[in-house]
Amino acid sequence: MTGPFTVAIDGPAAAGKGTIARALAARFGFAHLDTGLLYRAVGAMGGDPVAAAQALRPEDLQRPDLRTLEAGQAASRVAALPGVRAALLTFQRRFARRDGGAVLDGRDIGTVICPEAEVKFFVTASAEIRAWRRWLELGGEAAPDRFEAVLEGVRERDARDMGRADAPLRPARDAILIDTTSQDADSAAEMAVVQVQAVLPGPGAAAG
């Protein structure tokens, strides 16, 4: 397709936003931006978070340590700073309205970054299921005693993300809810594909 078409995906940590976003990007040929990586990179850079956000480069998103539990906690802390969010706003909005379509996943895409998005999703799951997924990502089976710490971290991050004054995590009023607590990634992604296909303009819009 040509012209802008934006899919906004919001939700808490480990709910499945990225999996759905990647599936949509592959299915429809959209560009994909995991906006959480922006905040993870800023948090991992250290120093003054606002200065780090202003100096952020695309290559900073390739750091190998951005998927750790510690990077996620740092991201949540710097994301609560209005100066950081303002520094990254223009980049995200420009990406979202690029020709050919874009899918962005994060925590304030449908409410703040792209309130005009053609399709909005809010992806969620129980805290216990999300902690279990994150625990597995972190090699949990080799460290069974770490699950409770991961669960506590998930709950703390939820409270911080939902309670912050600037752009709190919440579903947009017109967001489509996808609860992945009891469904696998493939079925959740297919649900999203059907919703996007129904809105996408033009008979040949899909990439196949």
Backbone angles phi, psi at 120, to 5 degrees: -130, 135
Residue ranges of the binding site for ATP: 11-19
CB 206 within 8 A of CB 7: no
> Across the beta sheet with 119-124, what order do the strands follow?
31-34, 102-106, 6-10, 119-124, 176-179
Residue ranges of the binding site: 11-19
What's the number of CA atoms in the CB half-sphere (13 Å) around residue 94? 5
Query: At what angle are helices 185-199 and 17-28 packed, to 10 degrees?
Result: 50
Q: Is 203 helix (H, G, I), strand (E, B) or coil?
A: coil
Backbone angles phi, psi at 57, to 5 degrees: -115, 155
Secondary structure letter of residue 113 according to DSSP: I
